[in-house]
Amino acid sequence: MPELPEVETIKRELEPHVVGRELTAVNICDTKIVAHLSPKILKDRITGKRIESLKRRGKYLLFRLSSGDYLIIHLRMSGAILLNPQQPLPHTRLILRLDDGTELVFTDRRRLGIVSLTDSEKPVEDKLGPEPLKPHFTAEEFANRLQRRKAPIKAVLLDQKVIAGIGNMYADEALFKAGIHPLRPANSLSLQETERLHTAIISTLRSAIKNKGASVETYLRPNGETGTAHFHFKVAHRGGRPCPTCGTPIQRLPIRNRGSYFCPCCQKY
């Protein structure tokens, strides 16, 4: 499941291969993945354009084109982008060919990912809160946002308008690191707890990026290799296994229909 660290890894590993290159051919294999405009218009508007830069914002990838447009890709649950795969891949949705022969292949087993085109960053920007790894994500601003919400902290961490880029796995890992129960109402956290969580979010994401993301389910890096961040998970996807700190079995609890993993001993309500 691509979250911020996975999308950041893809961005970094794709960047040197795509920036400055021209899109010479666009093959939309599954028109259903194109959102907000017709597949034909998207294809016509990006073919022949140069990729000026590649940026990640939250879980979105934005390719800025020489036309001034932004080609936007969101991988959702099962999307991946592969560079020059050795053989045809199952669930291929989109193929971009560049002027040096490079091929970018967007695959998506569950078909929930989207490709779109906009003339500014605004549509993406409007959906998202602060980037957690940028200096403007401060503990004060974080505390402010939490104070307005009484929903479970786990649910609030998944709200992209509160913080951009956190998903189910890293929400669980950050809450464990901060020692906070996932069902605690967001506005019940003390200032100290909020600061611990703020720090935990940043260190959890940084460490996952160092490990090139977590390969659970279908996530792969553009070169086809897996990430290693999941080997360092303490609670995420580890229901029933002993907590690495105290040995208590990790519990699984559905919150907002998402499996939430936590240690009932280290994260008391």
Partner DNA sequence: CCCGGAACCTGAAGGC
Partner DNA sequence: TGCCTTCAGGTTCCGG
Residues of the shown chain interacting with DNA in the complex, contacts defined by CB under 7 A: 1-3, 32, 58-60, 74, 76-77, 91, 109-112, 127, 148-152, 155-156, 158, 160, 167-169, 186, 237, 252, 254, 256-259
- Identity of the amino acid at 2: P
Q: Quick check: is 2 catalytic?
A: yes
Query: Judged by CB, which is closer to DNA: 145, or 198?
Result: 145
Q: Quick check: is 59 catalytic?
A: yes
Query: Judged by CB, which is closer to DNA: 102, or 188?
Result: 188
Annotated catalytic residue within 12, 45, 258, 264: 258
Kind of pairing between the strands at 114-118 and 258-262: unpaired
**CA dihedral in degrees (75, 79, 82, 85; nearest 10)?**
-160
Decide if 16 contacts 10 (C-beta within 8 A).
Answer: no
**Nearest distance from C-beta of residue 259 to DNA, angstroms:** 4
Annotated catalytic residue within 49, 57, 59, 177: 59
Q: Quick check: is 221 catalytic?
A: no
Q: Quick check: is 3 catalytic?
A: yes
Residue owning tokens 């989207």: 114
Task: List, in sequence order, every beta strand (DSSP E) within the chain.
Answer: 23-28, 51-57, 60-65, 70-74, 79-83, 92-98, 103-108, 114-118, 251-255, 258-262
Query: Judged by CB, which is closer to DNA: 21, or 252?
Result: 252
Catalytic residue positions? 2-3, 59, 258
